């Protein structure tokens, strides 16, 4: 009799768990199809010049980038893809003699309007560079550097920010017992993920990555690519890459650039299987570049 009651109780428990699981599934938000996602970056009629207008690097660029996607910029060296990437958080302002004409809208605001808070912009639009550039300080201090500069002084808050950023960068388990060690002692791949964690700690909405794996070995490259695919659930990511294979692995959309012009911009699968422009087809098939 007792055994029968026990069996009935177990069966009821299983049914309750099934109901709970169904409720979780019902409440879990569905992923919004790519076509229905909001545009978080809109580039309109953009021309860009170096040397006080003597050298034009970008010609009439128009592009819309959707939230929670990965967009790859591809093309041969010197085609303007890194220049365009740096316009999205005004990093080109640091180069003397640059001139820009057109609009770069980030969340419906033209970031080149007079009076734009560039420091705030670069907080919202983080940047990861081609070569890992950790500061010559501890792993902890690298990640806490930005929040501290923003005025976060509470140690518990800083600890949480550092832990969260390192977890999101898939580095926490590797370094949690060595946070006070120098960041320069990490491997190249770990240093790059630390730089991603440092950007994440500023709680941006957008992450720009300028060839983030070009200096890494294949294993470290794979880890960063896996990280990018995970991060797009929370961030909008724009990546410059020389690797067409990488573009196919990580991106939802791809823009092909040639001599400062955006030749073609579409879903990555379409770009690589059925491009509209012969120049795109020639590039991805290895006929030039």
Tokens 């808070």 correspond to what residue? 117
In CATH terms, the fold of domain 39-134+204-284 is Rossmann fold (3.40.50)
What does R_g of the chain's alpha carbons equal in angstroms?
23
**What is the spatial distance between Cα 112 and Cα 187, in angstroms, rounded to a whole number?**
38
Hey, what are 114's tokens? 């007079």
Find out whether 102 and 43 touch, Cβ atoms under 8 Å. Answer: yes
Specify the higher pLDDT residue, 193 or 20: 193
Mean pLDDT of the chain, nearest integer: 90
Lowest model confidence (mean pLDDT) among 12-16, 106-110, 271-275: 12-16
Model confidence band, residue 149 (pLDDT cutoffs 50, 70, 90): very high
In angstroms, the CA 252 to CA 68 distance is 10
* Tokens matching residue 90: 């005004």
Distances in Å between the Cα of 154 and the Cα atoms of 13, 120, 138, 148, 150 are: 44, 21, 18, 9, 12
pLDDT of 287: 80
Give the start-to-end residue ranges of the domains of the chain. 39-134+204-284
pLDDT tens, position by position, 16-67: 444 444 444 444 456 788 878 899 999 999 999 999 999 999 999 999 999 9
Closest CA to 220 of 194, 255, 184: 194
- Alpha carbon distance 174, 41 (integer Å): 34
pLDDT of residue 236: 97
């Amino acid at each position: 009799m007792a055994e029968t009651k026990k069996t009935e109780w177990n069966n009821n428990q299983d049914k309750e768990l099934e109901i709970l699981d169904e409720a979780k599934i019902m409440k879990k938000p569905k992923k919004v199809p790519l076509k229905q996602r909001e545009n978080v970056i809109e580039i309109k009629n953009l021309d860009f010049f170096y040397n006080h207008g003597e050298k034009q690097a970008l010609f009439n660029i128009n592009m819309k980038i959707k939230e929670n996607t990965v967009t790859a910029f591809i093309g041969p060296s010197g085609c303007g893809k890194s220049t365009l990437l740096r316009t999205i958080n005004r990093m080109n302002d640091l180069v003397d003699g640059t001139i820009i004409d057109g609009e770069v809208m980030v969340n419906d605001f033209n970031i080149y309007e007079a009076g734009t808070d560039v420091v705030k912009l670069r907080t919202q639009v983080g940047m990861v560079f081609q070569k890992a550039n950790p500061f010559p300080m501890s792993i902890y201090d690298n990640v806490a550097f930005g929040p501290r500069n923003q005025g976060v002084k509470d140690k518990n808050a800083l600890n949480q920010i550092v832990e969260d950023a390192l977890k999101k960068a898939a580095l926490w388990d590797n370094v949690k017992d060595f946070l006070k060690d120098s960041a320069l002692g990490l491997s190249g791949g770990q240093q790059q993920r630390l730089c991603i964690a440092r950007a994440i700690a500023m709680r941006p909405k957008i992450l720009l990555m300028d060839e983030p794996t070009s200096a890494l070995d294949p294993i470290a490259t794979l880890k960063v690519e896996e990280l990018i695919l995970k991060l797009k659930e929370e961030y909008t990511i724009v990546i410059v890459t020389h690797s067409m294979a990488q573009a196919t692995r990580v991106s939802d959309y791809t823009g092909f650039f040639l001599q400062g012009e955006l030749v073609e911009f579409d879903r990555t699968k379409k770009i690589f299987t059925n491009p509209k422009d012969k120049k795109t087809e020639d590039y991805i098939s290895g006929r030039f570049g």
